[in-house]
Structure 1
């Protein structure tokens, strides 16, 4: 179209396209009054078709969210001081929603998340979108993705790319930590992990990536599987390894897939008489434990949990306001950084 004859689209056009009053369009776009989910969707779809939402969002003037439905596996709820990651992440999400005037309604259903229950709960509270945390089970994701709701999986991974996801760059960050240990002279490194979700598996992938990048044999790095992510699980796994091998079997560093494991590793290694970092360096992953919680203080990969919460809401808003259900899903990964402290402070001279 010739720019000289191009007509500027406004809310009157959206009102006509959606078949609703001008004031209704204004309330939906500005979040100034409660509007039914059906009418809200009708207005947003009309505004999207006309290209009006894209212009409004570019100006930071779109308010497409008023209520979100939050589904977290009960086992991942922060019920004790071990679940520091969950506590920090959900607190950050709650704080960001409060800042934006968005209401969060938490799912309260079966011990195992159920798609039908989640969708019914979201409908009952007129939620515009659903945030699913951690649970990347395909049996759960498939029916959720097939619904008409905007859905974002937070701190999880969808291998089918059927829903939008926001997560730390687990593979890259684990490679970064392992590369750092290799650069300081370590060659035989233990990776202490557990058989968890796909995001934990990506950390194992990153551990291997660092060895391959240096053209080092993968068997220099050995993986130890704990029964879970709690400190006691780490202590048990290391105690068993040391007993079987009569020591550390030549390993000079342990890279833990979570800070909780690293805390347990520090405790067990010191109980076995090893000096840290003199005999063995210890590195964690998450960055939620206070620096002075452990002795020595823990070197760790810091995950940007606050930024993950902000990015999740932005992804949900984008899906609602611009992308629509037919737009390709997106995977957003945020970078992490290594925090150097005393538990891996010295270079290894070999």
Structure 2
């Protein structure tokens, strides 16, 4: 039979109410008593009734998270950071993959709301088509958009400052001698894709350099390799290619090499995100690092504030340029 809280209290020599407070951590109990109760619970193998606890506290101690695709390397890394922060406070993460389909995304959001999660974190897969579902979910539960967002300012948002990040990459390659730049990114269906292209265009104008190509496809290595082929067969080889994410950049490296071009001697390449593979590419990839741990902490902080203080908060976290082997030294 399951061990009850009454048995834990008796074993620790305290009242049931004191044992409950010691295990929940919601009210002040002396450290000595907390240690006794926790030790008793561990010795007896006590497991609290999650349903009853949720009814008492009006909380499930769960946060739902929906990402565009779990196959994109950036998102498992940000999910890991969010889950780590939640575990530190005794909460759990329920993760859903939208499969880059706003219809699937809508179903995932509805299920999480029905499961009474305490809050939602979402990186919408489409800036426009995801909006109705995000608006409805935000009416039902505190919601924070992370990394990407839908149009219209429907909820709090936490993400990296894409303009600063791309600006750092553009300034770096220009300082290394680049006078002709190309941009390879994703189709403009999400906020990250739009902001990074706009930042590239501003940076190129400010630097007074020529833009040879703007190629838009998807955030994938396959597209990066295909874009490299288009660049190499198009007759206008740039001095540097600014890529919308690291996967595109890694595909670009492979494609340029296949056409006999050396990186960075012939063409410099930059990425965005600093995924785990970036440092392992050949050469190691110069990229813009998204501080995932900081983004996770900020998203959960804003989510907690939203429960007691509704409003539209926009937190842009500064990225960092990580210079490795795919760009030339600044002059």
TM-score normalised to structure 1 length:
0.72
1:168 maps to 2:157? no
1:316–1:194: structure 2 CA closer, same or farther, 3 Å change rule?
A: same
1:140 maps to 2:133? yes
1:211 maps to 2:194? no
The aligned residue for residue 284 of structure 1 is: 271
- Secondary structure at 1:261 match in 2: helix
Aligned length: 284
Give the Å deviation of 1:71: 2.4
Consecutive unaligned residues in structure 1, runs of 5 or more? 1-23, 41-63
Q: Distance in 2 between matches of 1:226 and 1:120?
A: 32
1:94 maps to 2:83? yes
1:34 maps to 2:67? no
1:233 maps to 2:219? no
1:251–1:101: structure 2 CA closer, same or farther, 3 Å change rule?
A: same
Give the Å deviation of 1:89: 0.9
CA contact (8 A) 2:182 2:214 kept: yes
Give the Å deviation of 1:118: 4.6
Matches within 5 A, 1:183-202: 183-196=175-188, 197-202=190-195
Give the Å deviation of 1:113: 4.3
Q: Distance in 1 between matches of 2:212 and 2:22?
A: 60
CA contact (8 A) 2:98 2:105 kept: no
1:315 maps to 2:313? no
Range with bigger deviation, 252-261 or 105-114: 105-114
Of 57, 69, 73, which aligns to 1:84? 73
Structure 1 outlier segments of 4+, above 4 Å: 24-29, 107-111, 113-116
TM-score normalised to structure 2 length:
0.76
1:35–1:292: structure 2 CA closer, same or farther, 3 Å change rule?
A: closer
Q: Distance in 2 between matches of 1:168 and 1:159?
A: 17
CA contact (8 A) 1:284 1:299 kept: yes
- Secondary structure at 1:344 match in 2: coil
Q: Distance in 2 between matches of 1:109 and 1:238?
A: 29
Give the Å deviation of 1:213: 2.8
Deviations 1:227-282 (A, max 9, x none): 3222121111221232132xxx2521111111111111111111111121111111
CA contact (8 A) 1:115 1:143 kept: no
1:334–1:113: structure 2 CA closer, same or farther, 3 Å change rule?
A: farther
The aligned residue for residue 6 of structure 1 is: none
CA contact (8 A) 2:123 2:149 kept: no
Say what the alpha-carbon RMSD is for the aligned residues: 3.0
Deviations 1:190-234 (A, max 9, x none): 1111204121110111111213334x26xx124432432221211
Consecutive unaligned residues in structure 2, runs of 5 or more? 1-19, 28-47
Give the Å deviation of 1:161: 0.9
- Secondary structure at 1:285 match in 2: coil
The aligned residue for residue 68 of structure 1 is: 63
The aligned residue for residue 340 of structure 1 is: 323
- Secondary structure at 2:151 match in 1: coil
Give the Å deviation of 1:169: 0.7
1:238–1:305: structure 2 CA closer, same or farther, 3 Å change rule?
A: same
Matches within 5 A, 1:244-255: 244-245=234-235, 249-255=236-242
Give the Å deviation of 1:107: 4.2
Deviations 1:51-73 (A, max 9, x none): xxxxxxxxxxxxx8822122234
CA contact (8 A) 1:97 1:104 kept: yes
The aligned residue for residue 153 of structure 1 is: 145
1:202–1:109: structure 2 CA closer, same or farther, 3 Å change rule?
A: closer
